[in-house]
Amino acid sequence: MHKIDLSKFRYHALIVILLWLLSFIPLYAQSAQSDRVWVFFTQKSAVVPVSFPEETLARRSVRGDMQKSSRFNLPVDQAYIEEVKSTGATLRVVSRWLNAVSIDADQAVLASIGRLPYVNRISHVSAY
């Protein structure tokens, strides 16, 4: 029979246990990370003239849709965006069509954003 060097065995066992424990760190770090959400607003900003590039106007003329502007073309109110950013949220995307912003924020920040008077709803980003 071979003799097992007990000190080497303990050393290797300790390394294996430490590596196994370290494998759980990403799970805990992930739970502390922020959530990616869409924040939908109640109203668009005041009517402002929207200028379109020539390509857009040409495409619309081919489709027969020469309406210069619609509610979807109006920008998201910049004051809404700035106040959401001032809560500590990280801005990802601004969508005129959805009248919303996509942000990264933790639960405490999301709770404060949800209390803003012009926030319609908050939804998690379904895929990213």
- Which segment of 68-77, 78-87, 117-126 scores lowest on mean pLDDT? 68-77
Let me know: does 76 contact 53? Beta carbons within 8 Å.
no
Task: Specify whether the CB–CB gap between 98 and 123 falls below 8 A.
Answer: no
Q: In the structure encoding, which two tokens stand for residue 128, read together? A: 């990213």
Residues 6+ apart with CB under 8 A from 43: 77, 99, 118
Tokens of 117: 């008077």
Residue 64: predicted pLDDT = 65
Cα separation, 70 vs 4, in Å, equals 80
CATH superfamily of 34-124: Peptidase S8 propeptide/proteinase inhibitor I9 (3.30.70.80)
The answer to whether the pTM exceeds 0.75 is no
Which pLDDT score, from 0 to 100, does residue 87 have? 94
Would the pLDDT of 4 be above 80? no
> Facing residues of 67 across strands?
none
Backbone angles phi, psi at 79, to 5 degrees: -65, -40
* Cα(72)–Cα(97) distance, integer angstroms: 5
CA 112 – CA 108 distance, rounded (Å): 7
64 contacts 4 by C-beta, under 8 angstroms: no
Q: Domain residues of the chain, as ranges? A: 34-124
Model confidence at 26, pLDDT cuts 50, 70, 90, reads: low
The answer to whether the beta carbons of residues 65 and 53 sit under 8 Å apart is no
